[in-house]
Amino acid sequence: MRPVSVVYSTTLGGAEAYLVNLYSSLAARGHRPHLVGAVPGWLDAQLASSNLAFSPKWGRRTILKGLVLLRNERKMVVSAIQGLNADIFHLQFKREQIGFTELLAKQAPVVWTEHGIFPQGLRGLALRKAYADAARHTTLIICVSTRVAREVSSIVGPGISVITIENSVDIEKTVPPTREEKLAAKRALGLGDQPVALWIGRLAPSKRPEAALKIAEKFDGIVLLAGSGELLPVIRERAKAHANVVVLGHVDDPSSLYRASDVTLFTSDGSGEGLPTTFLEAAAHGVPTIADSSSGFGSLVESDAGGASVPAGSDAQTWVDLIDSVSDSVHARNARKWAEEHDRGSWVQKHERALQAAIAASP
C-alpha cells in the first residue's frame, strides 16, 4: 500500500505524533508511506517525503491569509503528487481537507483523520459548511473519539463514512513503576519523597494552567508543569511565588515525569480536544487523571481511565481532596487497564484495515 499524507506543520503536537507513529509502524509492516509537506519527527523516522511549505494551519489569525495563498498551494500539491502513484491520500488539518481534497480525489481515494472539536461561533459555522462540502469527496473520515465522531457525523450527514479509532499508547515500551521505582524517579528529579501532581500540555489560555498554581497553594506536595506555549513566561513568573511549583517547559520525553507522579491534572476547558494523549500516556504509567468536568472528559476519566472528575467551578481544595483519594494502587491499576485497551499494535492494525478498505471501495 502506498499511502500519501499531505500535511504541513512546524509544531509537534498530538496530530503530528499520530502521523509519525502510524506511518513508522505501517512502514515496518511493509507499506510505503510518503509525506507531501513537512511534519516534525517524520525525517527522524526515516520516512520518505517531498518537502513543501504551506501557509500556517488555519486559525482565527491565519485563515484569511491562508485562503489568499490557497490557489498557489493547490498548484504546488498537484505538481508534488505527480509520479507518486498514491493508493490513498491521508489528510489531517482543515487547510488540507478543505483546500486539497477535491483535487486529490481525482487521483486516489481520500481519507481524513479528525482530531478535535470544531470552534464555536460564526467562524465555526463557516468552517462547518466548507468542511461538509469538501467531505463529499472523501471515502472515509477517521475520528479519535466517539465525541469527535458524533460531531463530525452531524456536520457531514449520513452519506459519508465516519468511524472511530481512539488514540493509542505504546504499552510494550511503558511499564508502571513499583513504589520503590516511583520514589527513585522523584528523587532523580530532585523532588524528595513528596506527593507529585503533574500538569502537562500546551501552555495556552484554553488549557487553564494557572489553575495548577491555585491547586499548589492548597497541596502538601509538588506540582510539576511541563509544556511550552504562549503562557510559559507568565506561568514561570507567577510560579516564583510558590515554593512547591516546578515549571519545566518543553520536555522531549515525559516518561520520567509520569514515573515520578502520583496523579495528573487536566484543567483544560476542552476546547477543540478529541482524546488527549496525555490521558493515555499517564494511564500507561499507572497514573490516574483528575479532570475538570467542564472539559467534557469527566465521565471518561471516572468510568474508564481510573481517575476522577471535578465539578465545574470547584475550588482548589476540591482538587487536592481528589488527589489524595485517587493516589492509590486501585486507581493506578484501573488506569493501566484502560491504557492496555488502547495498545499501539491493535491501533495500527485498525488503521491498516480502514485504509485498505477505503482503497478497495474506491471505483
| Model confidence at 313: pLDDT above 80 | yes
Cβ distance 202 to 227 under 8 Å?
yes
Count of beta carbons in the 10 Å neighbourhood of residue 175 = 13
- Kindly state the greatest CA–CA separation across the chain: 64
pTM value?
A: 0.87
pLDDT of residue 59: 65
* Cell, residue 265: 491534572
- The fraction of the chain above a pLDDT of 90, given in percent, is 71
Domains and CATH numbers, the chain: 3-168+343-361 (3.40.50.2000), 171-340 (3.40.50.2000)
Q: Give the Cα-Cα-Cα angle 289, 291, 293 (nearest 5 degrees).
A: 150
Average pLDDT, the chain: 91
pLDDT of residue 66: 59
Q: Which amino acid is at 264?
A: T
Out of 35-44, 256-265, 304-313, 315-324, least confident range: 304-313
pLDDT of residue 46: 95
pLDDT of residue 198: 97
| Cβ-Cβ contacts under 8 Å for 267 (sequence gap 6 or more) | 199, 207, 208, 209, 211, 212, 292
Tell me the residue length of the chain. 363
Out of 220-224, 329-333, 347-351, least confident range: 329-333
Measured in whole angstroms, the distance separating CA 153 from the mean position of its chain's CA atoms is 20
pLDDT of residue 60: 64
Q: CA 153 to CA 141: how far, in whole Å?
A: 9
pLDDT of residue 355: 97
pLDDT digit string (tens) for 174-215?
A: 999 999 999 999 999 999 899 999 999 989 998 999 999 999
pLDDT digit string (tens) for 120-165?
A: 776 678 889 999 999 999 999 999 999 899 999 999 999 899 999 9
Q: How many CA atoms lie within 13 A of 117 on its CB side?
A: 18
pLDDT digit string (tens) for 11-66?
A: 888 889 999 999 999 999 999 999 999 999 999 999 999 998 887 776 666 666 65
H/E element, 163 = strand 162-164
pLDDT of residue 72: 85
Higher per-residue pLDDT: 313 or 156: 156
